[in-house]
Amino acid sequence: MKTTLKTDITVKDICEGFVYNELEGKGLFGLSGKLTIQPEYQRNYIYSDGKRDVAVIDSLLKGYPLGLIYFVKVNEDEFEILDGQQRITSFGRYVTNKFAIKDENGLEQYFSGIAVDKRNTILETKLTIYECEGEESEIKSWFKTINIVGIPLNDQEVNNAIFSGPFVTCAKEEFSNSQNSNIQKWSAYISGSANRQAFLKCALDWVSKGNVVDYMSSHRYDDNISELKTYFNSVIDWVSTVFIDVESEMCGLEWGRLYETYHKKAYDPKKVSKKVQDLLGDPYVKNHRGIFEYILGGSIDTKLLEIRVFDEATKKSIYKTQTEKAEKKKESNCPLCAIGHDSNANKIWKQSEMDADHVTAWSKGGATNIKNCQMLCKTHNRAKGNK
Ligand SMILES: [Zn+2]
Quickly list DSSP for 69-123: EEEEEEETTEEEEEE-HHHHHHHHHHHTTSS-EE-TTS-EE-GGGS-HHHHHHHH
Q: What is the CA radius of gyration of the chain?
A: 31
Residue of 312, 303, 299 lying closest to 364 (CA atoms): 299
Rounded to an integer, what distance in angstroms lies between the CA atom of residue 200 and that of residue 177? 10
CA of 19 from ligand 1 middle (Å) equals 77
CA of 316 from ligand 1 middle (Å) equals 17
CA of 312 from ligand 1 middle (Å) equals 20
- What angle, 0 to 180 degrees and rounded to 10, lies between the N-to-C axes of helices 255-262 and 226-242? 80
Residue of 354, 355, 335, 357 lying closest to 346 (CA atoms): 335
146 pLDDT band (50/70/90 cuts)?
Answer: low
Instruction: Report residues near ion ligand 1: CB below 5 Å.
Output: 334, 336-337, 377, 380
Q: What is the pLDDT of residues 58-103, one digit of tens each?
A: 999 999 989 889 898 888 889 998 888 899 999 999 999 999 998 8
Q: What is the pLDDT of residues 108-145, one digit of tens each?
A: 999 999 999 999 999 999 999 999 888 777 776 776 66
CA of 336 from ligand 1 middle (Å) equals 5
CA of 321 from ligand 1 middle (Å) equals 16
CA of 135 from ligand 1 middle (Å) equals 73
Residue of 98, 99, 92, 95 lying closest to 37 (CA atoms): 92
CA of 172 from ligand 1 middle (Å) equals 61
**Backbone conformation region of residue 344, classed left if phi is above 0, alpha if psi is from -120 to 50, else beta:** alpha
28 pLDDT band (50/70/90 cuts)?
Answer: confident
CA of 306 from ligand 1 middle (Å) equals 24
In angstroms, how far is CA 247 from the centroid of its own chain? 17
In angstroms, how far is CA 71 from the centroid of its own chain? 31
CA of 329 from ligand 1 middle (Å) equals 16
CA of 356 from ligand 1 middle (Å) equals 12
The percent of residues above 90 in pLDDT, for the chain, comes to 66
By three-state DSSP, how is residue 194 classified?
A: coil
CA of 323 from ligand 1 middle (Å) equals 13
Look at residue 157 and tell me whether its pLDDT is greater than 90: no
CA of 350 from ligand 1 middle (Å) equals 12
CA of 370 from ligand 1 middle (Å) equals 20
CA of 287 from ligand 1 middle (Å) equals 30
Q: What is the mean pLDDT of residues 8-19?
A: 94
CA of 326 from ligand 1 middle (Å) equals 13
Rounded to an integer, what distance in angstroms lies between the CA atom of residue 23 and that of residue 198? 19
CA of 334 from ligand 1 middle (Å) equals 5
**Residue 253 buriedness (CB in 10 A; 0-12 / 13-18 / 19+):** middle
Report whether 292 contacts 253 (CB < 8 A).
yes
Least confident of 116-125, 156-165, 172-181: 156-165
Rounded to an integer, what distance in angstroms lies between the CA atom of residue 149 and that of residue 19? 22
317 vs 42 pLDDT, higher one: 317
Report whether 77 contacts 33 (CB < 8 A).
no
Look at residue 150 and tell me whether its pLDDT is greater than 60: no
Look at residue 149 and tell me whether its pLDDT is greater than 50: no
pLDDT mean across residues, the chain: 90
**Which pLDDT belongs to residue 144?**
65
**Which pLDDT belongs to residue 45?**
81
Residue of 76, 67, 77 lying closest to 130 (CA atoms): 67
Q: What is the mean pLDDT of residues 243-263?
A: 96
Report whether 355 contacts 363 (CB < 8 A).
no
Torsion of CA 23, 27, 31, 32, to 10 degrees: -10
CA of 364 from ligand 1 middle (Å) equals 22
Residues contacting residue 15 through CB under 8 Å, at least 6 positions apart:
30, 91, 92, 95, 96, 123
Rounded to an integer, what distance in angstroms lies between the CA atom of residue 134 and that of residue 222? 25
151 pLDDT band (50/70/90 cuts)?
Answer: low
CA of 383 from ligand 1 middle (Å) equals 10
Cross-strand bridge partners of residue 36: 29, 80
